[in-house]
Amino acid sequence: MATFELIQGDITTIAVDAIVNAANSSLQGGGGVDGAIHRAAGPGLLAECFQMNGCPTGEARLTGGYDLPAKFVIHAVGPRWRGGNHGEVGLLAATYRSALALAKECDVRSIAFPAISCGIYGYPVEEAARVAVDTVRKHAAGMPELERGIFVCFDEKTYEAYDVALNTAE
Ligand code: APR
């Protein structure tokens, strides 16, 4: 059964089997954590992403980690917030499930997640943290090989939202 940790920091520095990227459907890089991961991984990451034919929202794709301390990058495409009546909750949950399904396929023992959709995609952090924590905990229960999950928040507001979500029952 995995243990879950919460840290405030830069996900590109975390030495785990896989870090999850908050990507867009083109998989061609972007700003936010996507930009940071590509900068830290080096050109090999984009070259591998070029081989893929994008990724629909709610799904994920796996690549190598290149110059990152992580072995793999799981590029997960979360939903853009459109007010909450366009299936955002289900899509965000599907994004975390898709990332964990790929982690399971590659026998990942440790994984780090950013706050998917909480930046440029505008998802309210409190709601997103609740979806993230509940979905990851539920799905990880079926992954005996997963030992460690880390939620990596870049700023204090996000950290506090995840702290509440991790320490209150769903
Ligand atoms: N480490 C951890 N978290 C980070 C980092 C980092 N180095 N940089 C940013 N973040 C945080 C943001 O503060 C936010 O809380 O990641 C969370 C997700 O924000 P974004 O990176 O903006 O991702 P998202 O909201 O899912 O929007 C995706 O943004 O970067 C583009 O190509 C990406 O088009 C896609 C869109």
Domains of the chain: 3-168 (3.40.220.10)
Q: Which of 34, 107, 134, 155 is catalytic?
A: 34
Q: What is the pLDDT along the chain (170 residues), one digit of tens a residue?
A: 899 999 999 999 999 999 999 999 999 999 999 999 999 999 999 999 999 999 999 999 999 999 999 999 999 999 999 999 999 999 999 999 999 999 999 999 999 999 999 999 999 999 999 999 999 999 999 999 999 999 999 999 999 999 999 998 66
| 120 Cα–ligand 1 center, Å | 7
How many whole angstroms separate alpha carbon 28 and alpha carbon 54? 8
How many whole angstroms separate alpha carbon 23 and alpha carbon 99? 12
How many whole angstroms separate alpha carbon 75 and alpha carbon 63? 8
